[in-house]
Structure 1
Amino acid sequence: MSFSDLRASRKTKSYVNGPSTKKEAREVPSEQQPAVESALPSNGLYRDLPLSIEVRTCDISGRGLWSKVNLAAGQVLFAVQPHVAVLSTEKMDGYCSACFGLPPPSGLKRCTQCRSVWYCDSTCQTKDWSVHKHECTSLQRWSKAAPSDDLSIPSDAIRCMGRILWMRQKKRVDSVWTRELDAMQSHRKNLPLSASEMHTHLAHSLVQYLGLSSPDDLRQFGINSSGDLVDLISRFTTNTFTITDAALCPLGVSVSPAVALINHSCDPNAVIVFPRVSAHPQADEPLMHVVVLRNILPGEEIVTAYIDTTLPRSLRQGSLKETYHFDCRCQLCRSPPDMDPRESMWCTKACGGMCPLPTEENPLTRCNECNSAVQSTDAVLDAVRVGQEALDKAIVVQFKDPAKARQLSTKLIPILTSAGLTPSCHPLLGLTILHKSFLISSFSSSCTQEYLDNTVRVATKALTGLVSIHREGHPVLGIALAELAKILAVDEPSPRETNEPGFYPPSGPPRLNLAYDTFIRARNSLMIGFGRMNEGGEIGRHVRDAIVSLEKEIGVWKQGVRNVFQDTPKSK
């Protein structure tokens, strides 16, 4: 559903955890100045990189990208098409498999052979045919061998690696395209035992998907040994990017060696987005844009976040170690703030101060304002533990059983709030964002004023939590602001005649003015997070249109008030 349709239909989608980007498992420099070597020779690779940045290496973060000039927040560093990309299984019948776009007015066209892949039109089908002609046969073979309908389409990973191999075969092993893929980092030599079973399963599934009788048949794709196959799988699992739509909703997976050069930080200075820029023809999509999140100086490394940075330090470290096989040593991980908003609770004395969240290792915690100690730490720890379990379950079932996921968030949010967790604290923030998405998706023409007001309050709490964590201009903030503004702009079923002091959200004209101000904030944030030259991406352009529409509506309202005053007889 488009952004502009929300006000009429009261339905939209929400991105829960922020864009997940995966690539070479490295980290940003430590407090000590790292030893940075001069620019590495490109050997004809990475031609998409602009002259303003170069590939270097240092003793801590390894190979990465460094800026040669001053870079401003909102500047698009470069935009590239992924080497390969596939839609997630649950998205295949709702988006074009070539451009990843929504259905045109005439609807998507289905491949008549595999009946699994859909396209906008003949242009997109032709664009994708050189690879899909192999994929089509493999999908038909897999479907016939599948034991159930749920397994009739292979996983995203298998389909994406299949496309990699078919493209390797087409372009040959000595091409720039293949050499860039082979230059991505593999962790074959230091893979943990826990990853062996997954890699073995992926290898067997890939061979089956390709219709080969044994791994030896992979030689036609330039895979000459079991080690080469493990390298392929390792490079894929640690260098994969999540493709999203313009509103940051996950659509599928992709691989881009140029973007994969960028190292990780839990406090990034750049982001990777898919703004869907109208200036580019449909055939160029999906386009990955690397956008500067804050000003970057010459000689500074360009870093993005591979994971959801709203998570507390221990969970971030665990996720990075499990997937990318490194211990993060970014500034935020090495020297976390005394009061990390991700792990904070309100003072139990209601002084307005906050306390670090107690832990099993350190249950004693005091307010940063009045120094009062938290007494009921066991109750807080129990609430956090139960909340984490509920969030994990809700994320797993949110698409298969949304009613169950909504029930979990509805039940646990009051418990965590009563335990004193701040809006930015994990897992309360995650549950709030998830709950907001369920409320928005349930919008209908018959929703009550109470339902609408509650949705506004939940969206505001989610935004409050995000503001405490993400820097100004982060695309997740821009989308959250745009969502809140859209909900505030929805026509109220039963507007209140008066606005009581302290009551939120307001009603009538004050609500409309608040929607306008929030749209302005969203526009400013989107212009940074999705790129100024992109006008904030597709969502930024929709927000611009919404601002113009509200300006006209507010103007009409003000004129109407003047007319009423002029027509009302003066009291004697």
Structure 2
Amino acid sequence: MAVPPHVSVLSTGNLDQYCSACAGPAPAGGGLKRCPKCKTVFYCNSECQNRDWAWHKRECIALQKWAATAPSAELAIPGEAVRCLGRILWGSQKEGLDSPWAQEIRMMHSNRSSLQPSAFESHTHLAHSVVRYLGVSSPQELEPYGLRSAGDLVDLISRFTTNTFTLTEPALTPIGICVAPTIAFANHSCDPNAVIVFPRSSSASSAKEPLLHLIVLRDIAAGKEVRISYVDTTLPKALRQKELKEVYGFECQCKLCIRALPADPREALWCPKGCGGICPYPTEENVLTRCVKCNAPISDPDAVLDALRVGQDALDKATMLQLKDPAKARQLTSNILPILTSAGVTPSSHPLLAMTRLHQELLIAALPSELSQETLDETIRTAAKYSAGLQALLPKGHPVRAVALGELGKLLAVDEPSPPSGPDVAARFPPSGPPRLKLAYESLVKAREEMLVGFGKADGGGQLGREIRDAVVRLEKELGVWTAGIRNALEDTVAARVGSPSK
């Protein structure tokens, strides 16, 4: 099913990169149009600007007042949570406090009664910011929004924080947040049978975007629940449970969480004897761990624990530095990845999988206009490791897995700056020349097959699926040229030999 969110807003850093009405990127060959009054939100055209005005007119005034009283330029724009809550409250007034629109907002689950102290503190801070943003000075002034007390405001904030979805590009890059009460009724599972995506349909005009799509990954029997995941399912159980408890107030009892696995691929080491099996991570309480296949013990569990601690610390630091100092973040990931790999951590395990993904993002962002073969090949190897790690965790058709395959295929299809030569070329990865193009083609074909599941078959796998299809067609033509060229060269050689007097 596909529904327009009740409310969606862009994150502050993306306000000048995407349209605040349809969430589309800046049009090719032209920039976005800025609101001339608040100078904060942007639109791809006058149609989107006019459509959004019913929502933006109150917001526009609030943004101007907020900026006028901000202590610094960095704080001149309120965060996306404040802006989203503002639109919810103004929307309730616009649609009517007794309208189905407002009732659906109130029907969303609140976990106010089970808030952790840290969460209650953040809710209180957010409540003060919302009050300032609305421009009210007393609880009585909140009544027109359907809020009769400070507790009602905290309840709204709790419903908002536990039911907000991430607004993304078609390729899953986060660009904002949104609220869609109908889809928020879906319960959680760490092994979900459905996903939330924003594929952008070719048949839908920008006036209908953004559209939130709920897409099933596998057949669901009649009477069974449609379940999505509230957290990143590539994380180990302890981290998933921690986030679910802190943000959503419950402990997950899904099959993935209650099933006892000999070794979770999210927390596993390769067999020290190389039998192909895996070993569960050692812990402080139980350092003895063995291969589940051949029973070989890990010889130095303390070294593994040290590597995992160093890896988690480095991942946290590199994530914080990703935008502030990407070069330093890339240096950090480059230094730590070999440590985790040398410790025997499998590609699907945390924190190696997350760091591999971050390293890939940093490498792609830093690719210079004139590529070096070494940099391109390192990026491809990193993308291949990340994709392999995901395939051990996520089912076929999962959009995250499909996007990773597509990224790998696109990187393999990039023209080689200086193709290597020598006797060992055939054995290296990534390959070079026609084998490289063939691998790119195979990766993109697999990616498109999975996108038809994870982003919906009805519209060709969404915008990204259509782009991948076009890339496949281009590669087919390029491979055809290679094949024809080789065939012609062989025919010429044969003809030359047959026509030679010495033969």
Q: Which TM-score applies when normalising by structure 1?
A: 0.85
Q: CA deviation at 1:501?
A: 4.5
Residues 163-221 of structure 1: per-residue CA shift (max 9 Å, x gap): 00001111111100000000011112222222221111011110101111123311111
Distance 1:282 1:497 in 2: 49
CA contact (8 A) 1:238 1:323 kept: yes
Which residue of 87, 100, 105 maps to 2:10? 87
What residue identity is the alignment partner of 1:522? Answer: A
Distance 2:246 2:326 in 1: 28
Change (3 A) 1:367 1:279: same
What residue identity is the alignment partner of 1:92? Answer: L
| Secondary structure of 1:301's aligned partner | coil
Structure 2 match to 1:553: 478
Q: CA deviation at 1:434?
A: 0.5
Structure 2 match to 1:531: 456
Q: After superposition, where does 1:442-481 map in structure 2 within 5 Å?
A: 442-481=366-405
Residue 488 in 1 paired to residue 412 in 2?
yes
| Secondary structure of 2:195's aligned partner | strand
Distance 2:218 2:324 in 1: 38
Q: After superposition, where does 1:303-452 map in structure 2 within 5 Å?
A: 303-452=227-376
What residue identity is the alignment partner of 2:491? Answer: Q
Which residue of 215, 228, 234 maps to 1:291? 215
Structure 2 match to 1:13: none
Residue 517 in 1 paired to residue 438 in 2?
no
Structure 2 match to 1:205: 129
Change (3 A) 1:200 1:516: same
What residue identity is the alignment partner of 2:449? Answer: N
Which residue of 227, 240, 262 maps to 2:151? 227
Residues 111-167 of structure 1: per-residue CA shift (max 9 Å, x gap): 111111000111101111012111111111111111111111111100000000001
Which residue of 173, 192, 204 maps to 1:268? 192
Change (3 A) 1:501 1:556: closer
CA contact (8 A) 2:425 2:432 kept: no
Question: Which stretch shows the higher mean deviation, 507-516 or 345-354?
Answer: 345-354
Distance 1:325 1:133 in 2: 36
Distance 2:117 2:103 in 1: 28
Q: CA deviation at 1:342?
A: 0.3
Question: Which stretch shows the higher mean deviation, 188-197 or 104-113?
Answer: 188-197
Structure 2 match to 1:69: none
Structure 1 match to 2:51: 127
Question: Which stretch shows the higher mean deviation, 387-396 or 195-204?
Answer: 387-396
Q: CA deviation at 1:497?
A: 4.3
| Secondary structure of 2:23's aligned partner | coil
Distance 2:313 2:180 in 1: 34
Which residue of 25, 49, 55 maps to 1:102? 25
Distance 1:294 1:336 in 2: 23
Q: CA deviation at 1:352?
A: 2.5
Residues 31-59 of structure 1: per-residue CA shift (max 9 Å, x gap): xxxxxxxxxxxxxxxxxxxxxxxxxxxxx
Structure 2 match to 1:51: none
- CA RMSD for the aligned pairs? 1.2
Q: Which ranges in structure 2 are unaligned for 5 or more consecutive residues?
A: none
| Secondary structure of 1:166's aligned partner | helix
Distance 2:254 2:74 in 1: 41
CA contact (8 A) 2:19 2:43 kept: yes
Q: CA deviation at 1:251?
A: 0.6
What residue identity is the alignment partner of 1:496? Answer: P
Distance 2:485 2:260 in 1: 54
Residues 257-304 of structure 1: per-residue CA shift (max 9 Å, x gap): 000000000000000000011110110100000001111111111101
Distance 1:230 1:514 in 2: 53
CA contact (8 A) 1:162 1:210 kept: yes
Distance 1:108 1:515 in 2: 34
Q: Which ranges in structure 1 are unaligned for 5 or more consecutive residues?
A: 1-77
Q: CA deviation at 1:407?
A: 2.1
Q: After superposition, where does 1:39-188 map in structure 2 within 5 Å?
A: 78-104=1-27, 105-188=29-112
Structure 1 match to 2:466: 541
Distance 2:134 2:317 in 1: 34
Residues 336-374 of structure 1: per-residue CA shift (max 9 Å, x gap): 421211000012223332111111122110012221111
Question: Which stretch shows the higher mean deviation, 220-229 or 115-124?
Answer: 220-229
Question: Which stretch shows the higher mean deviation, 363-372 or 268-277?
Answer: 363-372
Distance 2:328 2:23 in 1: 29
Distance 1:502 1:358 in 2: 35
CA contact (8 A) 2:322 2:362 kept: no
What residue identity is the alignment partner of 2:399? Answer: P
Distance 1:122 1:223 in 2: 34
CA contact (8 A) 1:530 1:537 kept: yes
Question: Which stretch shows the higher mean deviation, 212-221 or 433-442?
Answer: 212-221
CA contact (8 A) 2:262 2:292 kept: no
Distance 1:423 1:144 in 2: 50
What residue identity is the alignment partner of 1:514? Answer: L
Question: Which stretch shows the higher mean deviation, 559-568 or 173-182?
Answer: 559-568
What residue identity is the alignment partner of 1:118? Answer: F
| Secondary structure of 1:289's aligned partner | strand
Distance 2:146 2:78 in 1: 23
| Secondary structure of 1:342's aligned partner | coil
What residue identity is the alignment partner of 2:433? Answer: G
CA contact (8 A) 1:496 1:508 kept: no
